[in-house]
Structure 1
């Protein structure tokens, strides 16, 4: 039976993640909490807006209302990577070769490992950014689509157009697809290696959500894309040549009218952690849909989850600050 070690933080907590075997929690107040032989707190931002785990290093990347982009090491040490006075940094991304992306207003920026910064201007505000898994290619989500920029060369961006506001962007692990969550209750995708004639052939429409999608997670080998925004995790198949085109998604962890707010695939197995608006967390195995209750309902909606390196522990955060660590082996 899974066991839960609770950890309470005051206010909204944006991110829960592991660096090594140490759990980190990034609070909206700007404090970074790490549980290492007791709780240790680092004052990072004057108001934190975004925080992600860098998959290429044992560190976190964060952006704040103070216009700073920071790297937080596993030791809790903080390094400033960018400082844009009087601007909010609400989107950051980690790239290969030590690259870091961040968005400010109508521009996205890529800071290379040597400190060089490249700016890519858009006609509309950049809502989200993501790096491709290979090569220094940055996706910038905005109103009416996504721009793909090559950070290492002076090439024209590739425009992926679709009307509406795009608020999250992600590449599939094999780099063949770009998927966005939209302001309306839908996902949209583009097949990058699709037919070059007739752009319509490259579009993927994933609709029917009763609520806005706020969380996406790829399975370890990229066969599945899980999403929140319904009273179950909606999991789209991406193993076929054309991804989910013409295919129905799986619906995992269905709970009447209680919405999912966060999804997080295990780092090695096709097991999905599903967080709900009432604080409950379920674990579901893709192969047979078997469910395990990982946490009973709590005080607030689950906002973030992250697995430890060995895949045994799951850190979780909520909008009410009731966080913790689940040992799935008990």
Structure 2
């Protein structure tokens, strides 16, 4: 890996095609498709360490405070400890593409058709029964006391030592992405059938947002829980969940990409969204400007030489971006976007 100084805050190069970026506290991690993750200092881009999972990587996430990094891939999962560099690997042979921390000492991974909850020594605390298909995404509810998992047929919720689901939110189809708003009022999935399905958690009432030309593989609420962003078309759409929710409304939309490859809300709840695409553009825009159903122009668009494959905010003023050739850059928030 090499580092260099450009107009960005810092740049680095990793020897693989990045598939995910994770940030927490003072660290950044870049997951490579072939199975190596590079851990860097968030302020400088200087290397801290590497971890490797045979068979490739699909996702990774730091624990709160960045004392640990959990990573998953087609052959299993692993755990890196910052204090001494210890690496624990569990190459189960079960496909895993989701990892979520519930607390600094507890995290969940998708493992084939099950979800497993582990401690920071890699010991299994509990696990779910078999879902109808491979688990595609995970999310924690009730301050880490309840785990939601998506698979074919809907979302299943489990609590500690309950292998059978305590609640199920059903919708026939393949669910690819899972998003819960912070107060737990709404559960949403992005689906293979080019729809977003939404349940109100208190009573299970549901609705479907249809009409997308492509499958929904990326879905995220902002910190306030008001705005839900999704891919599924050249237009990036944002639904407003204020009041009684999005039923009967139209989304705000932005066309800045040929195909959306990544999206991430700026921390802090000010409705600023960053998105990236296959053409090498990174767009920053405010979701709370304009009117529902109208197209919103991006506040700033920058071009990179290669398709952007992943991005993540490292605090409220820095966006870390990785492209297909392994170039990684930390960019400052564009002037004039706030206020």
Counterpart residue number, 2:125: 117
Distance of 2:318 and 2:272 partners within structure 1: 13
Aligned to 2:174, which of 148, 160, 165?
165
Distance of 2:212 and 2:11 partners within structure 1: 32
Secondary structure of the structure 1 residue equivalent to 2:177: strand
Contact 2:18-2:322 at 8 Å conserved across structures: yes
Q: How far off its partner does 1:10 sit?
A: 3.4
RMSD value, Cα: 2.7
Structure 1: 5+ residue stretches without partners: none
Structure 2: 5+ residue stretches without partners: 1-5, 290-295
Contact 2:16-2:32 at 8 Å conserved across structures: yes
The 5 Å alignment of 1:45-194 reads 45-54=53-62, 56-58=64-66, 59-71=68-80, 73=82, 77-80=85-88, 83-96=90-103, 98-112=105-119, 115-121=123-129, 122-132=131-141, 134-151=143-160, 156-194=165-203
Q: With structure 1 as the length reference, what TM-score do the two structures score?
A: 0.85
Contact 1:294-1:326 at 8 Å conserved across structures: no
Counterpart residue number, 1:275: 276
Give the length in aligned residue pairs.
316
Counterpart residue number, 1:10: 15
Mean CA deviation greater in 180-189 or 148-157: 148-157
The 5 Å alignment of 1:216-227 reads 216-227=219-230
Q: With structure 2 as the length reference, what TM-score do the two structures score?
A: 0.83
Query: RCO greater where, 1 or 2, for CA within 8 Å and sep 6 or more?
Result: 1
Contact 1:134-1:175 at 8 Å conserved across structures: no
Mean CA deviation greater in 174-183 or 152-161: 152-161
Secondary structure of the structure 2 residue equivalent to 1:220: coil
